[in-house]
Amino acid sequence: MKDFKPKEYKDKGKSLTVFHGLCKGCGLCIAKCPQKAIKFSEKDLGVYSTPSVEIDINKCNACGICETVCPDCALKVKKTKNV
């Protein structure tokens, strides 16, 4: 059985989670990201053994477009308080 643990990316003021077990590798999030912060992963696979996505947290501005366009709810964007 595949290991579908979510992968969390964190930086000051933002947190993104990719749920590999839900990602089917459609690429909608990649196409719609205005910061070009999302790409297909070379190591993480999604639900159909297609490449899942990974986030460049330094480019991401946590706008949430990727979460909105994902048809499978495989991305969760959360703005956090700066500490």
Predicted confidence (pLDDT) per residue in 35-76, tens digit: 999 999 999 999 999 999 999 999 999 999 999 999 999 999
DSSP for the chain? ------EEEEETTEEEEE-TTT-----HHHHH-TT--EEEEEEEE-TTSSEEEEE-TTT-----HHHHH-TT--EEEEE----
Q: Report pLDDT for 40.
A: 97
d(C-alpha 2, C-alpha 78), whole Å:
26
CATH number (3.40.50.10860, 3.30.70.270, 2.60.120.10, 3.30.70.20) of 9-79 reads 3.30.70.20
Q: 3: pLDDT confidence band, cut at 50, 70 and 90?
A: low
Q: Report pLDDT for 5.
A: 86
Segment 25-30 mean pLDDT: 97
